[in-house]
């Protein structure tokens, strides 16, 4: 079996056409989605997804295009060799986020091909599942941080959708390392609003997005302990593992890091220094299915849990993460982006179904889902994010 074609699709809610030059700006729900399609000489097609980031689509898709000549006429069964060749020979052991996003999308598509070839779900090729369903938390649900709207949004997720865990970022404005303490206390107050709204039995997960200096993260962390959050995610930059450990050492709240770390090599210090209680690697940027399993196995030896990051589609990206989440011992919970769900359902066959904060694991070949190409849309905009402190 050989791969005979590789296609890249970039999509967002918009026009019924695709821009061949790819996007340079952010769209609709915060970014574009990047899908990989691999076709084989025996008629089997595999789908994968690359993590994407605001205004960085071209860097990721360019890596895919450059890898294409190595993938054409390649046997998709040789996944380990693909990862070896991509990191060692293509990247010369100088990888980046953009590189790992590209590799992840291609690797996931190869696993989809293998599952379809053997007529087995990917989890069976990984040794078989150890759970029938996986727990998920809702993210992307807060349309506003105003107290009344925040409370309303949280209650809708719990009462109408049945979610038992909600994540949100309680900070407003630009990301500042050293914000005034008043900003920290306002953010903490929003955590309290959500806790009061949903009651004591719903888990609240707090996202900080790597924004705070150590002392500011410590002040914020102590301020929200009374609301019993399930975790605090990335209080400080992940390049400084020691800073994250300093926050972990002053609180009983579990500390999370990992979405901005790529491949097992970048997780080594997290484990050895016991800098986090839980890691949240993203299957679409950390190397794909096999690498996420390797990272999870490493974490398990240090009694560290795994909650895969999920800022991808709730179709292909989520389905890949579901395969791994069903087989790893130290899985805790998966991130489900509710604001991407409607578009993902439109473009995806056999989209995962969330019921009462759980997704039942399907026994379908490969990832169990695939992209409906004729439903893909793209809309170019000139939207810009906040940029620096000056205009």
The CATH number linked to 132 is 3.20.20.120
User: What is the three-class DSSP state of 37?
Assistant: strand
| Residue 172 and residue 297 share a domain | yes
CA 157 to chain centre: 20
The pLDDT of residue 29 is: 62
- Does 378 fall in a domain? no
Closest CA relative to residue 326, chosen from 308, 353, 311: 308
Residues with a known catalytic role: 209, 309
Classify strands 354-355 and 334-337 as parallel, antiparallel or unpaired. unpaired
- Do the Cβ atoms of 227 and 204 come closer than 8 Å? yes
Q: Write out the two tokens for 338.
A: 């509710």
- Cα 266 to Cα 184: distance, rounded to the nearest angstrom: 30
| Residue 150 and residue 18 share a domain | no
- Do the Cβ atoms of 359 and 322 come closer than 8 Å? yes
Closest CA relative to residue 313, chosen from 335, 328, 288: 335
Domain end (from 93, 120, 147): 120
| Residue 292 and residue 348 share a domain | yes
| Residue 144 and residue 238 share a domain | yes
- Does 193 fall in a domain? yes
| Residue 301 and residue 184 share a domain | yes
Q: What is the CATH number of the domain that holds 113?
A: 3.30.390.10
Domain end (from 94, 120, 146): 120
User: 147: left (phi > 0), else alpha (psi -120 to 50), else beta?
Assistant: alpha
The pLDDT of residue 17 is: 43
- Cα 7 to Cα 37: distance, rounded to the nearest angstrom: 5
- Does 56 fall in a domain? yes
The pLDDT of residue 163 is: 98
How many residues appear in the chain? 391
- Domain hosting 188: range is 124-367
* Average pLDDT by stretches of 10, the chain with 391 residues: 97 59 41 96 98 90 97 98 97 95 98 98 98 97 94 97 98 89 97 98 97 97 98 96 98 97 95 98 98 98 98 97 98 96 94 98 97 91 75 72
| Residue 83 and residue 146 share a domain | no
| Residue 245 and residue 208 share a domain | yes
Which pTM was predicted?
A: 0.94
List, in sequence order, every residue forming a beta bridge with 38; answer none if it has no partner: 6, 46
The pLDDT of residue 322 is: 98
- Does 384 fall in a domain? no
The pLDDT of residue 143 is: 87
| Residue 39 and residue 105 share a domain | yes
List, in sequence order, every residue forming a beta bridge with 280; answer none if it has no partner: none
Give the CA dihedral 325, 327, 329, 331, nearest 10 degrees.
0
Total structural domains in the chain? Answer: 2
- Cα 120 to Cα 77: distance, rounded to the nearest angstrom: 14
List, in sequence order, every residue forming a beta bridge with 366; answer none if it has no partner: 121
Write the CB contacts of 78 (distance below 8 Å, at least 6 apart in sequence): none
The pLDDT of residue 330 is: 98
Domain end (from 71, 88, 120): 120
């Amino acid at each position: 079996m050989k791969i005979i074609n590789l296609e890249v699709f970039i999509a967002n809610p918009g026009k019924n056409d695709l821009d061949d030059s790819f996007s340079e700006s952010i769209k609709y729900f915060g970014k574009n989605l990047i899908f990989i399609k691999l076709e084989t000489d025996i008629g089997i097609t595999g789908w994968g997804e690359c993590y994407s980031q605001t205004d960085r689509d071209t860097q990721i898709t360019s890596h895919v295009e450059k890898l294409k000549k190595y993938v054409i006429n390649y046997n998709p069964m040789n996944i380990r060799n693909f990862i070896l060749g991509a990191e060692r020979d293509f990247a010369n052991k100088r990888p980046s986020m953009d590189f790992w996003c590209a590799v992840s999308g291609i690797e996931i598509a190869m696993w989809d091909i293998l599952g379809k070839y053997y007529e087995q779900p990917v989890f069976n090729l990984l040794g078989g599942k150890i759970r029938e369903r996986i727990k998920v938390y809702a993210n992307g649900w807060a349309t506003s941080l105003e107290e009344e709207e925040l409370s309303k949004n949280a209650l809708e997720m719990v009462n109408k959708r049945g979610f038992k865990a909600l994540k949100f970022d309680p900070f407003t404005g630009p990301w500042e390392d050293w914000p005034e303490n008043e900003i920290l206390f306002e953010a903490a107050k929003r955590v309290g609003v959500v806790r009061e709204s949903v009651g004591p039995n719903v888990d609240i997960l707090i996202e900080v997005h790597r924004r705070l200096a150590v002392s500011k993260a410590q002040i914020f962390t102590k301020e929200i302990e009374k609301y019993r959050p399930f975790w605090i995610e990335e209080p400080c930059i992940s390049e400084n593992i020691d800073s994250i450990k300093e926050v972990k050492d002053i609180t009983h709240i579990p500390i999370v890091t990992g979405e901005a770390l790529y491949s097992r090599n970048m997780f080594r210090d997290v484990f050895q220094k016991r800098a986090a209680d839980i890691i949240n690697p993203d299957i679409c940027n950390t190397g794909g299915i096999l690498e996420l399993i390797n990272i999870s196995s490493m974490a398990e030896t240090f009694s560290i849990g795994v909650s895969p990051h999920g800022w991808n589609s709730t179709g292909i990206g989520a389905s890949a993460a579901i395969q791994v989440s069903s087989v790893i011992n130290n899985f805790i919970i998966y991130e489900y982006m509710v604001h991407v769900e409607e578009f993902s359902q439109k473009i995806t066959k056999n989209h995962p179904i969330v019921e009462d904060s759980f997704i039942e694991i399907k026994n379908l070949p490969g990832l169990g889902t695939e992209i409906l190409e004729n439903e893909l849309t793209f809309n170019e905009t000139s939207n810009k994010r906040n940029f620096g402190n000056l205009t």
